[in-house]
Amino acid sequence: MLVLEHLWIILALPLLGAALNGLFGARWPKRWVDAVAVGSTGAAMLAALELWREFASLPAAQVPWVKSYFPWMVAGSFRADFALQVDQLAIVMLLVVTGVGWLIHIYATGYMAGQGGYYRFFAFLNLFMFFMLLLAMAANFSLLFVGWEGVGLCSYLLIGFYFLRQSAADAGKKAFIVNRIGDFGFLLAIFLIFRTFGTTDFGPVFTAVGQQPAENSFGVITAIALLLFAGAVGKSAQLPLYVWLPDAMEGPTPVSALIHAATMVAAGVYMVARCGDIFVHAPAAMTVVAVTGCLTAFYAATIGLVQTDIKRVLAYSTISQLGYMFLACGVGAFAMGIFHLMTHAFFKALLFLAAGSAIHALAGEQDLRRMGGLRAKIPWTYRTMLMGTLAIAGAPLFSGFFSKDAILWQAYASGHTALWLLALAAALLTAFYMFRLVFLAFHGAPRFEEHAVHLHESPPNMIAPLVVLAVLSVAGGWMAAPVLWGGPNYFEEYLAPVFTRAATVAPRLMPAGEQAHALELLMTGVAVAMAAVGFFVAWWFYIRQPQRPDKLAEQFRAPYTLLLNKYYVDELYGALFVRPLAWLSDQVLWQWADVKLIDGAVNGLAATARDLGGSLRRMQSGNTRSYAAWVILGAAAITTFVYLLVR
Amino acid sequence: MPASWYLALSAILFGLGVVGFVFKRNIITIFMSIELMLNAVNLALVAFSRQLGELQGQVFVFFVIVVAAAEAAVGLAIILLIARNRQSLNVEDVDLLKL
């Protein structure tokens, strides 16, 4: 019971790695930095695996397992401990974060080799892991918020890793600021929780919520849920706060993989699932979650159709897939949301790392229009990328097939037919844009100077993580395989204890029995058919008739331009928020408040003191006898004063 | 003789000291005026000591005499140096601190 007693070990390992590399890495050879970074995360993964083993033997009554280490904040009636908590949900998150994170670390030792700031990169990466693990294990909202802000900070540091490039520095700032907007909602939610329940510990809060009936009007619980969701919208890049994620592509590719797969964006979904007890008590908030998720899934997929930067296509696909996860949470299928989070972590990390491998091979080229024909040149990258693409498109028996179809089925079966249709359309688009990416990059004739670029397959320390992730992308969903013949979904069953209370509050009217199973299979068939259509269209456009897409773009110029410019949302936000704020800061806060008001007051005080001193120094005549006169006058004044006082 | 006579003498001496201190220009005269004021105070202290029948006043006087002696030593040394550097004992000439 070593790790179960000392949960902090899992946190301490990556933190130690970050500290060692951050403090001494600059003077260390690459080998040592590698050993510390990969070793600390690898050890954290082993600790998480050991925790999983120990946790399995824990009696159900002791779940969630909470360990409080020391009081962290005590002020009046408020008290928050440094307390960590483990339940099935946390276990899943810990395994995904440490496992995928570890693979990305290994990959990064190859990808980042020879780049400036190598030690700094790994120090940040380890710190990122630390905050994400803290977020996953926190036992109260206050500590959760520390991890929440920590991953925001690390994403800022890593997106802006190439900070000498203006666009990278801007992207880092954008990510941080957009996240702050969501965090503001999250912070308000925490305040409201403390005000309502007098504590921020998960256990008492969820118990207190559980004793109330579901809120059908707009009350305090609905407000809390909506504010929490505002935080999740920022962190998990949903409409309307998704704009930071595509720009986050400015960071090195392993960072993109880490942000999109294991850490950061997963935090929002995790938090909503963690607060499932609160959300189910607010049906209105649930509807908001489901609709936002579904709209985002479709909206981001449409933008992904026409993007030409390989990493941006993947970025929009992440936003779209996160939308699916929120859709699942919104219809009450929290376990399915987490299931998709896990499979998505596998295949999206794979896709990013494989894309990074292709970019690496082409010496930094990211434009799909200047790729092509890479299949034979970098076969391992191609094979693993294909596995990831099949998984995300939902090809039968791949991991994405089980998780995405489960979400679609849950949406349909819980009566959200409109959302189901939209999500289904998004699934079609997903298959199309992913295969478009693969065909453009790996098939056809090369569209780059073959002699100018020295094409090379990536080194083994980059290929090995790809292969492992490819295996996970294929097999990661097989826990749900028995569903196909009417059996249980083992993943859902594992997570069931976490969501027991939520399930009793808002029992989902799921159809059951033979007929329902037949219906479920039918729905699965429909979803697979959609993916197949997407695949076929992509094949038709980009293999069979490569001129067709350009002609289509020519014919539908207006919608094409709209999509290519991402619905002009960045421009809209720029005009609505950024420029007015910049004007306010410049003209009012700087030129008026700072220069005139504050500087004026400070300079005025200084001028007053100077003038006063100037007039008073006339008393200093330098004449000894005048000093003597002052002394005597002073003595006389004091004597008179004392005399009057005594009398 | 009542104590008030001594006090009156003390006050007169002190007043003379003040007048000399303020109006004289020769540094040595000013210095002597200060000594005069100190001794006027000594006289008042002794008078009170006698009237109240306590020794504290006389002890004070000894302290004042000791301090005055030390002050005279330091003060005369300063005056000597001023005289040597400026060839003058006029207090108006010592005005380096002027504005």
Q: What is the DSSP string of A384-407?
A: HHHHHHHHHHT-TTSHHHHHHHHH
Compute the distance between CA of residue A586 and CA of residue A536 in angstroms, rounded to an integer: 53
Asked if the Cβ–Cβ distance from B94 to A621 is below 8 Å, we say no
CB B62 within 8 A of CB B46: no
Asked if the Cβ–Cβ distance from B22 to A628 is below 8 Å, we say yes
| Residue B43 phi, psi (nearest 5) | -60, -45
Round the average pLDDT of chain A to a whole number and report it: 88
The length of chain B in residues reads: 99
Asked if the Cβ–Cβ distance from A628 to B95 is below 8 Å, we say no
* Per-residue confidence (pLDDT) for residue A388, from 0 to 100: 92
Classified as helix, coil or strand, A536 is helix
Residue B96 lies in a domain: no
Residue B47 lies in a domain: yes
Assign residue B14 the CATH number of its domain. 1.10.287.3510
- Its ipTM equals 0.76
pLDDT in tens, A190-234: 999 999 998 999 989 998 988 888 777 888 999 999 999 999 999
Tokens linked to A300: 């981001």
Residue B71 lies in a domain: yes
Among the partner-chain residues A618, A621, A629, the one whose CB lies closest to the CB of B22 is A629
Element (H, E) at A65: strand A65-75
Q: Is the pLDDT of residue A25 over 80?
A: yes
CB A286 within 8 A of CB A221: no
pLDDT in tens, A89-136: 999 999 999 999 999 999 999 888 878 888 999 999 999 999 999 999
Residue B68 lies in a domain: yes
Core vs surface per residue A140-171: b (16+ CB within 10 A) or e: bbbbbbebbbbbbebbbbbbbbbeeeeebbeb
What's this model's pTM, rounded to 2 decimal places?
A: 0.80
Classified as helix, coil or strand, A415 is coil
Residue B84 lies in a domain: yes
**Quick one: closest CA in A to B93, which residue?**
A623
* Per-residue confidence (pLDDT) for residue A444, from 0 to 100: 80
Query: Shortest Cα distance from B24 to chain A (angstroms)?
Result: 9
Residue B73 lies in a domain: yes
CB A394 within 8 A of CB A405: yes
Instruction: List CB contacts (< 8 A) between A636 and chain B.
Output: none
Q: What is the dihedral sign for C-alpha A409, A412, A414, A416?
A: positive
Asked if the Cβ–Cβ distance from B97 to A620 is below 8 Å, we say yes
* Per-residue confidence (pLDDT) for residue B12, from 0 to 100: 95
Instruction: Specify the number of domains making up chain B.
Output: 1
Asked if the Cβ–Cβ distance from A632 to B94 is below 8 Å, we say no
Query: Shortest Cα distance from B55 to chain A (angstroms)?
Result: 25
pLDDT in tens, A145-159: 999 999 999 999 999
Is B94 an 8 Å CB contact of chain A? yes
Per-residue pLDDT band for A415 (boundaries 50, 70, 90) equals confident
Is A618 an 8 Å CB contact of chain B? yes
Full residue range of the structural domain in which residue B21 is found: 3-90
DSSP labels for A285-300?
HHHHHHHHHHHHHHHH
Element (H, E) at B88: none
Q: Which of A618, A620, A623, A632 has the highest number of chain B CBs within 10 A, making it the mutation to test binding with B? A: A623
Q: Is the pLDDT of residue A507 over 80?
A: no
Asked if the Cβ–Cβ distance from B96 to A622 is below 8 Å, we say yes
Q: Which of A616, A617, A623, A624 has the highest number of chain B CBs within 10 A, making it the mutation to test binding with B? A: A624
* Per-residue confidence (pLDDT) for residue A503, from 0 to 100: 78
Per-residue pLDDT band for B97 (boundaries 50, 70, 90) equals low
Asked if the Cβ–Cβ distance from A625 to B91 is below 8 Å, we say yes
Compute the distance between CA of residue A25 and CA of residue A101 in angstroms, rounded to an integer: 20
Classified as helix, coil or strand, A452 is coil
Q: How many CB atoms lie within 10 A of CB B26?
A: 14
Asked if the Cβ–Cβ distance from B98 to A621 is below 8 Å, we say yes
* Per-residue confidence (pLDDT) for residue B63, from 0 to 100: 94
Is B23 an 8 Å CB contact of chain A? yes
Q: Is the pLDDT of residue A342 over 80?
A: yes
Asked if the Cβ–Cβ distance from A632 to B91 is below 8 Å, we say no
Compute the distance between CA of residue A457 and CA of residue A240 in angstroms, rounded to an integer: 39
In the numeric block, the tokens 């005000």 are attached to A195
pLDDT in tens, A580-630: 999 999 988 998 999 999 999 999 999 999 999 888 887 777 777 778 888
Instruction: List CB contacts (< 8 A) between B92 and chain A.
Output: 623
CB A322 within 8 A of CB A341: no
Residue B55 lies in a domain: yes
Query: Shortest Cα distance from B58 to chain A (angstroms)?
Result: 23
Q: List the alpha helices (DSSP H) in A414-453.
A: 417-442
- Which residue type is seen at A252? P
Residue B97 lies in a domain: no
Tokens linked to A639: 């004597």
CA torsion A184-A187-A191-A196 (nearest 10°) is 100
Compute the distance between CA of residue A349 and CA of residue A260 in angstroms, rounded to an integer: 7
> In terms of Cα–Cα distance, which of A339, A373, A247, A231 is closest to A292?
A231
Compute the distance between CA of residue A432 and CA of residue A425 in angstroms, rounded to an integer: 11
